[in-house]
Structure 1
Amino acid sequence: MVFLHSTLHSIDDKVGLVSEVHALLAPRGRFAVVNWLPIPREQTIWLGHPRGPKQEVGMGAEATANLVLGAELELRLERTVPLPPLHFGLIFTKADGAIA
């Protein structure tokens, strides 16, 4: 399993990162991504300070899933996990490598 938390939005070569993760995973391995919901920072106050990425670089669950699946690797979206109030999670699974 590879677990990525609150990072993908700030990576320049997102598809390259996803490709590297894919290469690391064993068949049926999982890639879990937790990231911020696309909420304006002024609405994410925690302990008196705004949290999360600037809205212009934020990625919602749909954009993140499209990025990973659009890399055309053997990853499938297994589950979307709501993590309110500020995050979402996506779990992808690598193909098992079996030849049909």
Structure 2
Amino acid sequence: MYAVDVDASLLDELDGRADRQGIDNVVPVHGDARNLTDVLPDSVSTLVVANTFHGVGDQSGLVEQAFRAIEPGGSLIIVNWHDRPRETTTVGTEPRGPPTALRTPPGETEDVVLSAAPFTLDRLVELPPYHYGLVFDR
């Protein structure tokens, strides 16, 4: 399993956690997900974009990269925050997640993906209390 991030410190943290938990199949890859075909050493069967799609400036470009990086028959999964005011998505008493203005409903995320690459929507998955997941097939 590859974990791609531009923040090397997050990859170091992930690597340490995986080691402490005896997980040996995580390969940290320092790079920009907007260039997936350049940073991934191989094509992948499943690509998960979790809690970041809302902040990508060129979402269509990321989707195009994802399509090229995923094997035929594979899946793109986007996990995103529901379009709710940030102050209502709390953990404990603290608001969590991106600013309200960046949150998008599932239909808008679906439209971006389907207009950027020839994926097909497989399903919408509710991920309570604050997230949804969209599963697309290549």
TM-score after normalising by structure 1: 0.89
Counterparts of 1:36 and 1:9 in 2: how far apart (Å)?
8
Counterparts of 1:82 and 1:31 in 2: how far apart (Å)?
16
Count of aligned residue pairs for this structure pair: 93
Q: Which residue of 1 aligns with 2:53?
A: 8
The question of 1:34 aligning with 2:90 is answered no
The one of the two structures with greater contact order (alpha-carbon pairs below 8 A, sep at least 6) is 1
Match of 2:125 among 73, 81, 84: 81
**CA-CA distance at 1:75 after TM superposition:** 0.4
Once the two structures are superposed, residues 17-47 of structure 1 have per-residue CA deviations (whole angstroms, 9 ceiling, x without a partner) of 0000000011111000101001101101112
- Between structures 1 and 2, the one with greater helix share: 2
Counterparts of 2:115 and 2:86 in 1: how far apart (Å)?
28
Greater C-alpha radius of gyration: 2
Counterparts of 2:88 and 2:112 in 1: how far apart (Å)?
26
Quote the RMSD (CA, aligned, Å).
0.8
Counterparts of 1:5 and 1:11 in 2: how far apart (Å)?
12
Consecutive unaligned residues of structure 2, counting only runs of 5 or more, are: 1-45
Of all paired residues, the percent bearing the same amino acid is 35
The runs of at least 4 aligned residues of structure 1 exceeding 2 Å deviation read none
Q: SS at the partner of 2:67?
A: helix
Match of 1:64 among 100, 109, 119: 109
Counterparts of 1:74 and 1:39 in 2: how far apart (Å)?
29
Q: Which residue of 1 aligns with 2:10?
A: none
Q: Which residue of 2 aligns with 1:98?
A: none
Counterparts of 1:17 and 1:92 in 2: how far apart (Å)?
14
Q: Which residue of 2 aligns with 1:92?
A: 136
Q: SS at the partner of 2:83?
A: coil
Give the AA of the match of 2:134.
L
Counterparts of 1:47 and 1:82 in 2: how far apart (Å)?
21
